[in-house]
Amino acid sequence: MSENLSGADNQQERLSADWVVGFVDGEGCFFVGINRQPSMKLGWQVLPEFRVMQHEKDVAILEQLQRFFGFGLVTTNHGDRKELRIRGIDQLNEVVRFFRAHPLRTVKRSNFESFAEVIAIMNCGDHLTEEGLQRIKVLASRMNRGTQNPQRPYARSPVEITGG
């Protein structure tokens, strides 16, 4: 076993911020789910998450990303696809800080900006107001193909924003 810390094996174990940005630009997803939940104050639950998916043969890279961020869960997405999923407002705030410091370089950056705004709304507790929820619906409808996305049925009809 080599003591050379700059060897290829070690280089692959330590992900750089630039590498993570490039990988997420290609393989990552910033997602905001809005689900009917009668027990919630407004009857809706906002569920933001950051995901990166890979075939199960590449699960090691998801585990490296998990170590890079210091949190998240590597799970089965569907069949032979695995994903790193990060949820929870504290962890998502860390993800937002990272991508603010290391900006994405593709169209995914606009999805991230909408996602970051949703996180900011949630940090203030405004997602628990009608106005905040409507703002989140508008932002989420712009993300990830908006009205074409079957996971976003609320994006198919115009979103009414109440208040000023």
Tell me whether residue 10 is in a domain. no
Specify the pTM. Answer: 0.80
Query: Which contiguous run of DSSP H or E holds residue 123?
Result: helix 108-123
The mean per-residue pLDDT over the stretch 12-22 comes to 89
Tell me whether residue 81 is in a domain. yes
Tell me whether residue 159 is in a domain. no
Lowest mean pLDDT among 11-15, 56-60, 79-83: 11-15
Q: What is the pLDDT of residues 23-78, one digit of tens each?
A: 999 999 999 999 999 999 899 999 999 999 999 999 999 999 999 999 999 999 99
Number of domain units in the chain: 1
Tell me whether residue 137 is in a domain. yes
Residues 6+ apart with CB under 8 A from 4: 10
Mean pLDDT, rounded, of the chain: 86
Task: For residue 95, give the CATH number of its domain.
Answer: 3.10.28.10
Query: What is the predicted pLDDT for the residue at 3?
Result: 41
Q: Which long-range contacts (CB under 8 A, 24 or more apart) does 7-14 make?
A: 13/64
Domain of 78 in residue numbering reads as 15-149
